[in-house]
Amino acid sequence: MNRPQPILILLLALLALSLLAQIVPLYTDWLWFGEVGYVDVFVKTLSLRGALFAAMAIGVLIFLYANLTFAARTAPPDVIWELEDQLGLPGRVVIEPLIRRFMPIVLALISLAAGMRATVHWEIVLGYFNATPFGSADPLFGQDLAFFVFVLPFWRLIHGWASTLVVATIVLTLAVYVLQRSLVLTTRGPRLAAGARTHLLVLGALALGLKAIGFWLDRFDLVFSPRGIVFGAAYSDIYASLPVLGALAVFAALCGVACLAQIARPGLRLVAGGLIALTLVWVLGLGIYPALLQRFRVTPNELAAERPFIGHNIRMTRQAYGLDRIVEREFPADEALDARALEVGGAIETDEDGVDVEPRERRYGCA
C-alpha cells in the first residue's frame, strides 16, 4: 500500500487550519447575532457569501481546467524545435507526467483562493440586487445616482474578476506551452505550434474585449474625477477624456477582432499593428491631449470654461445636504419677533400628547 505523499499531507493540513480559522469567528458571529435577535440577517449574509464562493470557485476551476487541459493536450511542435530550445528545460517525457500530476492540485488551490476572495465583496453584490433609485440624475450621463452607488461598482467588480481570470489564464497557458515545447526559443527566433497559436489568439481577443468594456466603464468614473477646479467632471474630462475613452473602447474591440482575423493569416502583423496603435491612442488621448487642452484652452480663462461644471458641483452638493430646500424669508427687524413669527404655514401641529409633529424643515424655513 502506497504511503501518502508528504506534499499532499501538507496541503490537507493547511486546508484544515484555514477552515478552523474561519469556523471560530463564524461561530462567534452566530452567537452575537442570535443574542441581538438578527439571526436572519446573519443567515442571509452567510448564504450570499457561500453562493459567491461556490460560483467563483467553480467558474474559475472550469475556465482554467478547460484552457490548461487543452494546452497540455495540444500537439507538440517538430522535434527539431525542441533540440534547438535555448531555455534548456527538461524534455517532454519528464515534463508531461509532472503537469498531469500537479495541475489538478494547482487549479484547486487557485479556485479556492478565488472563491475566498470573492466572499469579501458580498456587500457590493447585495447592494446591486437591492438597489433603490435616488430619484435624481447626474448632469453628465443622465443616469440615476443609484447607478453610481449600486450598479457601477457591481459592473466594475465583475469586470475585474473576468479580466484577472483571463490574464491569469494567458500566463498559465503560456507556461504550459513553454513546458510542453509548443512554444520554444530557437536560433531562428521563437517558434509556436499552430494549435497553441490559435488558442493564444482567442484568449488575446477575449482579453481585448474585456479591455474595451473597461474603457467604456471608465467613462462613468469621470463623475468622480479629482483633476478639475472642483471635484467631479471638468472641462478637460468632458471634451478630452470622455470622447477618447469611447474611441479607445471601439479601438480595443477592433483589436480583439484583429486577433481572431489573425488566426487565418500567418504571422502577427495585424495584432502587433493594432496593439501599437491602441497604445499610441491611449498615451496621446488620455495623457497628452487632456493636458494640452487644460493648458491652452482652460487655464487662460478657467472661470469661463469651468463655470458650468462648478455650477453642477454646487447644485449637487446642495442637493446632497438638503440645502436646495432652504427658503429665504424676510422678517421685520424689531423686538416683537418671536418663535411664532418664524413658523411657516401657521400654527405648529401637535399630536394628542402635545408633541410637535410638523416637519422640522417647515418649522425652520425649509421647503
Q: Is the pLDDT of residue 258 over 90?
A: yes
Same domain? 285 vs 164: no
What is the Cα–Cα distance from 53 to 216, expressed in whole angstroms? 28
Give the residue with greater pLDDT, 112 vs 341: 112
Q: What is the pLDDT confidence band of residue 341, given thresholds at 50, 70 and 90? A: low
Same domain? 186 vs 257: no
Q: Is 82 inside any structural domain?
A: yes
Domain that holds residue 174: 41-192
Same domain? 186 vs 277: no
Most confident of 124-128, 234-238, 324-328: 124-128
The backbone region for 234, taken as left when phi is positive above 0, alpha when psi lies in -120 to 50, beta otherwise, is: beta
What average pLDDT does range 8-36 have in this prediction? Answer: 75
Q: Is 97 inside any structural domain?
A: yes
- Domain limit, last residue, from 290, 305, 324: 324
If you average pLDDT over every residue of the chain, what do you get? 82
Q: Is the dihedral of CA 25, 28, 32, 33 positive or negative?
A: positive
Q: Is 246 inside any structural domain?
A: yes
Same domain? 298 vs 230: yes
Per-residue pLDDT of 181-239, as tens digits, reads: 777 766 666 677 788 889 999 999 999 999 999 999 999 999 988 877 788 888 899 99
Same domain? 57 vs 186: yes
Same domain? 69 vs 158: yes
Q: pTM of the full predicted structure?
A: 0.79
Same domain? 277 vs 166: no
Same domain? 47 vs 187: yes
Total tally of structural domains belonging to the chain: 2
Most confident of 28-42, 180-194, 349-363: 28-42
